Structure 1
Amino acid sequence: MHDQATLGFIARHNLWTPQQQAAADAIAERVRAGEFTTVRVSVADPQGKLRGKTTLPKTFLSTLTNGLDFSSAQYNFDSGENIAFNPFTTGGSLDMAEMEGFPDLVLVPDPLTFRELPWAPGTGWVLGDMYFNDGTPVPFDARHKLKQVVADLESEGLHYVAGLEVEFYLTRVVDPKLAPADSGALGMPPAPPVVETIGKGYAYQSEVQMDAIDDFLTVVADYADKLGMPLRTMEDELGPGQLEFTFDVLGALEAADTMTLFRSMIKQVSARMGLHATFMTRPGLPGFCASGWHLHQSVSDRDGINLFPAAAGSDDLLSPLGRHFVGGLLEHASAASVFTTPSINGYHRRRPYSLAPDRATWGHDNRAAMCRVQGGPGDPTSHIENRIGEPTANPYLYLGCQIAAGLDGIRRELDPGPVEADPYSATDRPKLPVTLMEAVDELKRSEFFRQTFGNIFVDWLLGLKASEIGRFLEAEPDWEHNPDVVTEWEHREYFTKY
């Protein structure tokens, strides 16, 4: 039996399961055998982007025992690295003594996420969770929040699975804009690169277009396989260089981790090839239409049996449990908008007749509905595709709000009402927020999400969004005169980093 004083941080606070400890032991053997020159230890920031430190083998072995010291600064930054909360005030502007003065936190790696990065031979990578020095979870770490709602769902004997369907743009860099004057500052992102398209647009699912970038697609497919990502398909979308990738189903945490690493992989690999990839919803470039992130989801029992299909021969599209899950998604759709569509730019999707939803609706295989039911009575693959999200969304919050809302629908037996044949004309259905400002107001009033994620978390997130919105309104005071135009501020804010 170990003396508590001699145990490392992770063991002392019992932060790993036996499965994680066994995985860590196996990783340590590989590190000691000299398989890795460096290991990147990463964490998803409030926007879902990866931040991390590159460790040498000896340091990483220590990290597997004690975690890694890591600055809390990311929790003070909004979408453009503006300091939204002054850390040098009492409580760090967050009424939390633990956040005063940009203190160090402890980043604890999750050994189950460990990979070798195929584009950087000899480089290991692991994703982690943030803790205070007393071993308590940092309440602003969205990965913790997702794990909490997953545990709540599983306490009911239910298991959630998700299939990712995400769109993004691939462009060719003409001028990377690397002059010192273009480097940006806190609250002022770097000047976006000057780019050209990789091909003509509006040739939906063109095989010729895909062949033109076969070198990129082949490399990405190979890397995804090596990383254990269940990539299914890659296709050409509407805009010039707009691509859609789909993935087979995964558990909630695995799906969120996959999306986080996938976005980072795409940006890193494209940069190495002289390309620029962006998950910004609608870049401020001529002819570029909006991208989306559609989330396919269903719930199964402990034996893995899908609980969404209606009985064979039924007149219903979904089982009662499936209908209640949809009812919860519709009930909380507006309040969840900050989680599903967190950027100013993302609301360019919220337009009627745009292949994106503008109201909280559901329908059968109808791409105008928010919740599109795929499958039917007796079909064991029946599931919901929620089409509300944007590609920049934080994966842990997007999936977390879906699970929480759906579970609330199940517990309260919420009825989603009849399916809509013409969702854009369903004026009896609630209209979704069409700006981030409206979405913030909805979340501010949501007692449900305050109970789900906690007041501290919700108020902190609202503070980050207030900073982002404030900078936008200061830079673009006349934006409402032509709300369909992507502003210069939006392009600079999101095109490079997202």
Structure 2
Amino acid sequence: MALDAAGGGFIARNKLWTEAQAEAAARVMALVEEHELRTIRVAVADPQGKIRGKTLTPRAFRGAMADGLDFTTAQFNFDSAEGIAYNPFTSGGSLAMEEMEGFPDVTLVPDPATFRILPWVPKTGWILGDMHFPDGAPVPFDARHKLKDAVAALEKTGHSYVAGLEIEFTVCRVLDPMMAPEHMGSLGLAPEPPKVEPLFRGFAYQSEAHLDVADELLGVLADHCEALGLPLRTMENEMGPGQLEFTFDVTGALEAADNLTLFRSMAKQVCARMGLHATFMTQPGLPAFFASGWHLHQSLSKDGRNVFATPEGSGALLSPTALNFVGGLLEHAVEASVFTTPTVNGYKRRKPNSLAPDRATWGYDNRAAMIRVQGGPGLSSTHVENRIGEPAANPYLYLASQILSGLDGLERQLDPGPMEHAPYEAVHRPELPKDLYAAVEALDGSAFFRGHFGDTFVDWLVGMKRSELARFEAAEPAWRDAPEAVTAWEHREYFTRY
């Protein structure tokens, strides 16, 4: 089943693939034929970072690899529980963009570099793509485009972004799936979450006994990561009941975001097939469950060399380039909160003495700081870890916000100031937003992110989050009386969806 690269389809006509992608497309079609695949899932990451897609036959897939795939824009009108944030059937209901009126179709263009054969589904392929308008222009709300733009801006300076992933999540055994019709919810009301029990007992940080209890699952997930080419490094028992942490080796920015998108989806699907439930919700609304985070390890390289590292004997922990990059991360941490922590629930982590930051701080190997420096003179692995993120974050927007913030630090040679030895006591440092309301206001007023992402994108995302917040406020009007408590709305909204 050879791909006719000279067929003059939508992709070739609009020059939407590089030469390398076109060559990879031919290899993809050869794999479809060689492995006798019966279906291929063509997917896209939605605004919440979850996967939406269609399942194609090989014949239809061949057409999609030339002309793309018709795909609805509805996902850009829905908030986190399919609540209609923007009504495209009303005047101005889609941010006054004619291209978005009436739930129109756009074209999903597969990226051949993302193709995989799924190891848990017989004879099934998978590929991720980007959304384009009929004239070939990128759909401005597609987060994968935003990350590619940020990478391109950084690469103009001669630097490449390097990311390592460390993500925590919770796995439970399902006792009652809650599948009766009255549990299904509706548009804007998430389904009733399943009744569960933790996979193992907490609290016991890095317990080998807990890893043994989870051995069957861990073995399956490790095998699938290997088959998918996901660069898994370690699997650990984190602090709370049923809480796990997976770490992944360093890659480029786009590959890292694609990998995390696929991993989260894979973990949830595989767990469901085993009678388990995996959630990337930060703080489940269950007694004694512990909050999870997503720590993003990052550095820059130039000509294959880590430019954050310093020579042995220099006495400097970080290079001047790294210091400026950290300065940018600190400078824009407050206004980036919607990107790093996009849910109501994610802010339950942000409190003193919680292993999560509450201020824009940095320190050496200090888990209370937002930016934790790891490495030192003579170590080529020197990098910084941002501990601010939640596991439900859209990976494309999280990484893009880091790249743009760090790039601003490079361009303006921002000084991060002295490191903090007691970050929770650093009252001179900016306090991070304590809830999604404050984070949305910070992003709405951000000239920096409006300048990079555009007013159309920022206005749209702010509107999406305000729709989510309006549903939260309607369901939980007294939440401010106990702001640290996980509400019933949060558990229903996020436990299953993320």
- Residue matched to 2:456: 456
Moved more, 315-324 or 241-250: 315-324
Aligned to 2:310: 310
Corresponding residue for residue 396 of structure 1? 396
Task: Quote the Cα distance in structure 2 between the aligned partners of 1:94 and 1:6.
Answer: 36
- In structure 2, how many angstroms separate the alpha carbons of the residues matched to 1:489 and 1:316? 48
- In the TM superposition, what is the alpha-carbon distance from 1:5 to its structure 2 partner? 12
Q: Does 1:214 align with 2:215?
A: yes
CA distance in 2, matches of 1:198, 1:129: 36
Closer/same/farther in 2, CA of residues 6 and 115 from structure 1, 3 Å limit: closer
Distance 2:453 2:36 in 1: 40
Give CA deviations for 1:380-405 in whole Å, capped at 9, x if unaligned.
11100000000000000000000000
Q: CA deviation at 1:95?
A: 1.3
**Distance of 1:15 and 1:419 partners within structure 2:** 44
SS of equivalent residue, structure 1 residue 90 = coil
Query: Does the Cα contact within 8 Å between 2:221 and 2:267 map onto a contact in 1?
Result: yes
Superposition TM-score, scaled by structure 1 size: 0.98
Aligned-residue Cα RMSD (Å) equals 1.2
The reply on whether 1:267 has 2:268 as its aligned counterpart is yes
1:291-330 maps to which residues of 2 (within 5 A)? 291-301=292-302, 303-330=303-330
Provide the residue aligned with 2:489 in structure 1.
489
CA distance in 2, matches of 1:316, 1:426: 23
Shift of 1:488: 0.2
Q: How does 1:368-387 map to 2 (within 5 A)?
A: 368-387=368-387
Q: Write the distance in 2 (CA, Å) between the matches of 1:309 and 1:95.
A: 48
Aligned residue runs from structure 1 range 5-20, under 5 A: 7-20=8-21
State yes or no: 1:89 paired with 2:90.
yes
Counterpart AA for 1:164: L
1:193-342 counterparts in 2 under 5 A? Answer: 193-301=194-302, 303-342=303-342
Pairs within 5 Å for 1:442-481: 442-481=442-481
TM-aligned CA deviation for residue 91 of structure 1: 4.3
What amino acid sits opposite 2:277 in the alignment?
Answer: H
CA deviation after TM superposition for structure 1 residue 34, in Å? 5.9
Give the 3-state SS of the residue equivalent to 2:131 in structure 1. Answer: strand
- With 358-367 and 19-28 compared, the bigger mean Cα shift is at 19-28
C-alpha contact 1:116 1:124 (8 A) present in aligned 2: yes
Secondary structure in 2 aligned to 1:121? coil
1:93-120 deviations in whole A, cap 9, x for unaligned? 3110000000001000000000000000
Q: Distance in 2 between matches of 1:161 and 1:35?
A: 36
Tell me by how many angstroms 1:126 deviates: 0.1
Give the whole-Å Cα distance in 1 for the aligned partners of 2:128 and 2:136: 18
Q: Deviations 1:148-195 (Å, cap 9, x if unpaired)?
A: 000000011000010000000000000000001101110000000000
Measured after TM superposition, the shift of residue 198 of structure 1 is 1.3
SS of corresponding position for 2:380: coil
Q: Is contact 2:437–2:469 with CA below 8 Å preserved after alignment?
A: yes
d(CA) in 2 for partners of 1:6 and 1:159? 34
* Cα displacement (A) at 1:314: 2.9
Deviations along 1:350-407, one digit per CA (max 9) or x if unpaired, are: 0000000000000000000000000112221110000000000000000000000000
Question: What is the CA–CA distance in structure 1 between the aligned matches of 2:408 and 2:110, rounded to whole Å?
Answer: 31
- Secondary structure, counterpart of 1:458 in structure 2: helix
Structure 1 segments unaligned to the other structure (5+ residues): none
Return the alpha-carbon distance in structure 1 between the equivalents of residues 133 and 113 of structure 2.
21
Tell me the secondary structure at the aligned position of residue 460 of structure 1.
helix
Contact 1:90 1:97 (C-alpha < 8 Å) held by counterparts: no
Q: Which runs of 5+ in 2 are unaligned?
A: none
User: What secondary structure does 2:497 align onto?
Assistant: coil
Which sits farther off after the overlay, 87-96 or 232-241?
A: 87-96
Map of 1:47-62 to 2, 5 A cutoff?
47-62=48-63
Conserved? CA contact 2:279–2:496, under 8 Å: yes
Deviations 1:429-482 (A, max 9, x none): 010000000001111111010011111000000000000001101110100111
How many residue pairs get aligned? The number is 494
Aligned to 1:406: 406
Matched to 1:198, the amino acid is L
Q: Which amino acid aligns with 2:199?
A: I
2:430 pairs with 1:430 = yes
In the alignment, is the contact (CA less than 8 A) between 1:91 and 1:99 conserved in 2? no
Aligned residue identity for 2:267: I
Distance 1:378 1:189, change over 3 A: same
Q: Identify if the C-alpha distance between structure 1 residues 5 and 363 changes in structure 2 by more than 3 Å, giving closer, same or farther.
A: closer
SS at match of 2:379: coil
Secondary structure of the corresponding residue to residue 449 of structure 1: helix
Structure 2 CA distance, aligned partners of 1:60 and 1:286?
46
In the alignment, the residues of structure 2 paired with residue 32 and residue 235 of structure 1 have an alpha-carbon distance, to the nearest angstrom, of 38
For 1:201 and 1:342, locate their aligned partners in 2 and report how far apart those are by CA, in whole Å.
27
C-alpha displacement of 1:35:
1.8
Cα separation, partners in 2 of 1:75 and 1:35, compared to 1, 3 Å:
same
CA distance in 2, matches of 1:247, 1:205: 17
Query: Is the contact between residue 92 and residue 101 of structure 1 (CA under 8 Å) also seen in structure 2?
Result: no
Looking at structure 2, the residues matched to 14 and 170 of structure 1 have their Cα atoms a distance apart, in angstroms, of: 43
- Give the whole-Å Cα distance in 2 for the aligned partners of 1:313 and 1:401: 33
The aligned amino acid for 1:407 is L
Q: Is the 8 A contact 2:7 2:66 kept in 1?
A: no
SS state of the match for residue 313, structure 2? coil
Q: Give the corresponding residue for 1:101.
A: 102
Q: Verify the 8 A CA contact 2:238 2:245 in the aligned structure 1.
A: yes
User: Residues 402-441 of structure 1, C-alpha deviation per residue, up to 9 Å, x if partnerless?
Assistant: 0000000000000000000000000100100000000011
TM-score for both structures, normalised by structure 2: 0.98
1:277-298 residue CA offsets vs partner (Å, 9 max, x unmatched): 0000000000011100000000
- Structure 2 CA distance for aligned equivalents of residues 427 and 34 of structure 1: 59
Separation in structure 2 between the aligned mates of residue 211 and residue 162 of structure 1, nearest angstrom: 30
* Distance in 1, Cα, partners of 2:7 & 2:98: 28
Task: Output the CA distance in 2 between the equivalents of 1:449 and 1:381.
Answer: 30
Does the 8 A contact of 1:47 with 1:79 survive in 2?
yes
Contact residue 32 and residue 125 of structure 2 kept, 8 A: no
* Aligned mates of 2:370, 2:344 — CA distance in 1: 20
